[in-house]
């Protein structure tokens, strides 16, 4: 006889367990302690087994019967309901671990240690920050349940704050995370592939840079009169001489710099190109580095953070220094020192363009350019570094510099 809700509610425990049958192998087990537990007795491969369906009243009579029928369908297909239940628990546990945030962390860790293709420290920091903006909305969701609309909502929140470029880049990085999940068999397809064209295109802006010789001299004189932090002033004074990217300067460590040998070797892991870069140091640059060493040396970061010596100077420090000197973002930036060097060196006509490209650590386009770190080509870069620092000294003093459009080392 089938059970009723009234019969279940009125059932009382006894000194021994009681079984109340409902049909189809299912019964309600009433324990001496008063617990009421749904169980299903069935046979698979000739063996009798017992499936725990749940406890009453959390699982009511109707829900228990529905689960019984699901189990019987599995049995009819030759499957063991108990084994399928365990598999479902494992799948749920894996799914819970495979949240967007968890896979983001895994992907970022992989990119940090991805050999020659790995992220440079500055790139890693920026990328992890941008992904954290996305994680604020979808980080806790299982990656397999995330739909294009979920991603778009997360990106729209960034876009709504006027951060159009951050929104664009965040979407790109989120797509990379989803594709990594696909590659590691935790996702079928990338939901961001259908979002192309959904965002407002940011206005392309170029780094502010002074490329006029006279204005460059004015900038150098302004830097010499800088009244802020002494370390910031020295960073501003060194930046025009070395042609490196702002992140490479900020992350410089004393172990990389040989002042006696006038050489700075930047490890591949810190370079955008992921290749070791050699920077010849002029006499003026060595003298400036010696001033810094007296303050922050002999180990650790050359330009440490004001808060802790275990971290480098903030990425905004040099730009903030330029703003303090009165230069707007569209006039001059930390990155602009590279454009200044590239423009004025090329306009001088004294140096092979390939030597200038190597000094700027731009990608090597052929074997000839790849040779610019050794032999006679290295000597040209050493000579060019010294000529450039001497040239900056003349600009600082207000000398009128006339471009010499002739090739060959000075």
**Which of the residues are catalytic?**
245, 272, 335, 338, 362, 372
Q: Spell out the residues 6+ positions from residue 325 whose beta carbon is closer than 8 angstroms to its own.
A: 219, 222, 223, 226
Both ends of the chain: CA-CA distance in Å? 106
SS3 300: coil
Strands 36-44 and 47-56: antiparallel
Bridge partners, residue 393, by sequence = none
- Euclidean distance between CA atoms 82 and 69, whole angstroms: 14
Q: In this structure, what DSSP letter does residue 258 have? A: E
Alpha-carbon Rg for the chain, nearest whole angstrom, is: 34
The encoded tokens of residue 332 equal 């001059």
Q: In what order do the strands lie in the sheet with 263-266?
A: 257-258, 263-266, 277-280
Could you tell me which of 110, 214, 109, 195 has the C-alpha nearest to residue 156?
A: 195
Evaluated on CA atoms 166, 172, 176, 181, the torsion sign reads positive
Exposure of 62 in the CB half-sphere (CA atoms within 13 A): 0
Q: How many CB atoms neighbour CB 190 within 10 A?
A: 19
> For tokens 């951060």, what's the residue?
163
The encoded tokens of residue 286 equal 């060595």
Q: Of all helices (H) and strands (E), which one includes residue 179?
A: helix 164-183
3-6 LR contacts (CB < 8 Å, sep 24+): 3/28, 3/61, 4/61, 5/60, 5/61
């Amino acid at each position: 006889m089938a059970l009723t809700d009234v019969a279940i509610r009125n059932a009382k425990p006894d000194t021994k367990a009681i079984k109340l049958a409902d049909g189809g192998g299912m019964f309600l087990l009433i324990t001496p302690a008063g617990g009421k537990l749904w169980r299903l007795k069935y046979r698979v491969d000739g063996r009798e087994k017992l499936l725990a369906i749940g406890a009453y009243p959390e699982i009511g009579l109707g829900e228990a019967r529905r689960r019984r029928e699901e189990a019987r369908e599995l049995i009819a297909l030759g499957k063991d309901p108990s084994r399928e239940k365990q598999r479902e628990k494992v799948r749920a546990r894996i799914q819970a671990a495979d949240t967007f945030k968890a896979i983001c962390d895994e992907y970022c860790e992989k990119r940090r240690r991805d050999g020659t293709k790995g992220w440079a420290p500055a790139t890693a920091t920026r990328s992890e920050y941008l992904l954290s903006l996305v994680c604020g909305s979808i980080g806790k969701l299982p990656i397999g349940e995330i739909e294009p609309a979920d991603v778009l909502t997360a990106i729209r929140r960034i876009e709504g704050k006027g951060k159009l470029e951050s929104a664009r880049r965040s979407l790109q990085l989120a797509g990379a995370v989803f594709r990594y999940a696909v590659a590691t068999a935790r996702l079928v397809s990338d939901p961001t592939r259908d979002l192309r064209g959904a965002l407002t295109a940011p206005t392309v802006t170029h780094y502010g840079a002074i490329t006029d010789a006279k204005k460059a001299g004015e900038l150098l004189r302004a830097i010499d009169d800088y009244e802020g932090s002494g370390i910031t002033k020295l960073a501003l004074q060194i930046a025009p001489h070395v042609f490196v990217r702002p992140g490479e300067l900020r992350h410089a460590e004393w172990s990389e710099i040989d002042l006696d040998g006038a050489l700075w070797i930047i490890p591949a892991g810190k370079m955008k190109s992921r290749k070791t870069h050699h920077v010849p140091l002029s006499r003026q640059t060595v003298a400036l580095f010696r001033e810094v060493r007296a303050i922050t040396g002999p180990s650790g970061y050359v330009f440490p953070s004001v808060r802790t010596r275990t971290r480098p100077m903030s990425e905004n420090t040099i730009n903030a220094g330029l703003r303090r000197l009165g230069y707007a973002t569209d006039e001059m930036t930390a990155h602009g020192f590279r454009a200044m060097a590239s423009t004025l060196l090329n306009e001088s006509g004294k140096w092979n363009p390939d030597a200038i490209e190597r000094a700027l650590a731009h990608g090597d386009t052929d074997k000839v350019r790849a040779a610019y770190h050794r032999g006679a080509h290295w000597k040209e870069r050493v000579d060019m570094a010294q000529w450039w620092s001497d040239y900056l000294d003349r600009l600082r003093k207000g000398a009128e510099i006339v471009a010499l459009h002739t090739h060959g080392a000075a």
